[in-house]
Amino acid sequence: MGEKIRVLIVDDSALVRDILSVGLSRDPELEVVGTAADPFEAGEKIPNLRPDVMTLDVEMPRMNGLEFLRRLMPQYPLPVVMVSALTEKGKQLTLDALALGAVDFVAKPKADLARGMELLMADLTLKIKIAAGAKLLRYKQETRVENQTARETATLKKEAIINHAEPSSRVIIIGASTGGTEAVREIVTRFPERTPGIVVLQHMPGGFTRLFANRLDSETAMKVKEAEDGDQIINGRVLVAPGGKQVRLRKDSRTGYSVVLEEEKNPRIIAPSVDVTMFSAAEVVGKAAIGVVLTGMGADGADGLKAMRDAGARTLAQDEATSVVFGMPAEAYKRGGAERLVPIGDIAMSIMDLLR
């Protein structure tokens, strides 16, 4: 539209604020309208600066980014891109932030700072542009009140089911990017405990995918784990593709379907790639598969879903109204991969209908 995207940077480090300000200002489509050292300063500046997008540090003194989001979103809905530390606490807070309405996140580099900051700036610039056009959707957050005994009982029940589960004769492939963590959660938490095996491809760096899988596992009747090389696809289990790995499927006449993980050495290639896994599913699983493409920027999964449909699989994509970013589902539908577009709240039931 010719207008620059107005960006507010919130970070307790003066050095990081300067680096982000200089880096983002180099892009002709962005304008850094201000910086803030903490959420209190940011809260005072937002009404006057009227930013289109805010970058927010996850871990800050006085008030962390998560608590700021919790207070900000109800009063001043604003697209937010989190800047996450690669600590265990930082990763957990980042997933919490996505659940509270943050659009996406970037991870601060731990080593090779020069190269790492270059990649971070490229990633952050792109995600700010995506966030500026994203829908701010609020997913219902259910409060689960359980004691330790109840959680342990639920875990034991899942393990018992998995230990006696048979290889899955059907395979469900779900791919997502921006806005996908909550979209995947919306689907998987609605499945019964013995649903056929699922493989989830969520664009996310390594380390975050393990925590994402653990969080899903605590909220669903199915057993959820980060995939390991050779894991079987069995009834009642969800495998989350690890960040940085490509996932392909393999079939054995005795053990059924399993996953093969390969390290992606090119940092500019998406890993996990939805296309890579869906092309594999088309070849290996064919008409016994169901493919779903959810919210996200770009076209990853569009051609793979088309290959699955051509091989006889049933296919769906998330509709525009419930997508944070309609890029991936739109392309999947436009290229003939998705049979139909479905609201996120109806996708789980639609999958169950297709299984029946």
Q: Which residues are catalytic?
A: 177, 203, 300
Neighbouring residues of 335: CB distance < 8 A, sequence distance ≥ 6: 302, 303, 305, 306
Residue 80's φ and ψ, nearest 5 degrees, are: -125, 135
Residue 15's φ and ψ, nearest 5 degrees, are: -65, -45
Q: Could you tell me if 296 and 328 are in contact, meaning their C-beta atoms sit under 8 angstroms apart?
A: yes
Length of the chain: 356
Quick one: tokens of 100? 């509270």
For 299-313, letters b (16+ CB in 10 Å) and e give: bbbbbbbbbbbebeb
Neighbouring residues of 65: CB distance < 8 A, sequence distance ≥ 6: 10, 39, 56, 57, 58, 59, 82, 93, 97
3-state secondary structure at position 257 = strand
The helix (H) or strand (E) run that includes residue 36 is strand 30-36
Neighbouring residues of 11: CB distance < 8 A, sequence distance ≥ 6: 17, 20, 35, 37, 55, 56, 57, 60, 83
Q: Could you tell me if 96 and 210 are in contact, meaning their C-beta atoms sit under 8 angstroms apart?
A: no
3-state secondary structure at position 104 = strand
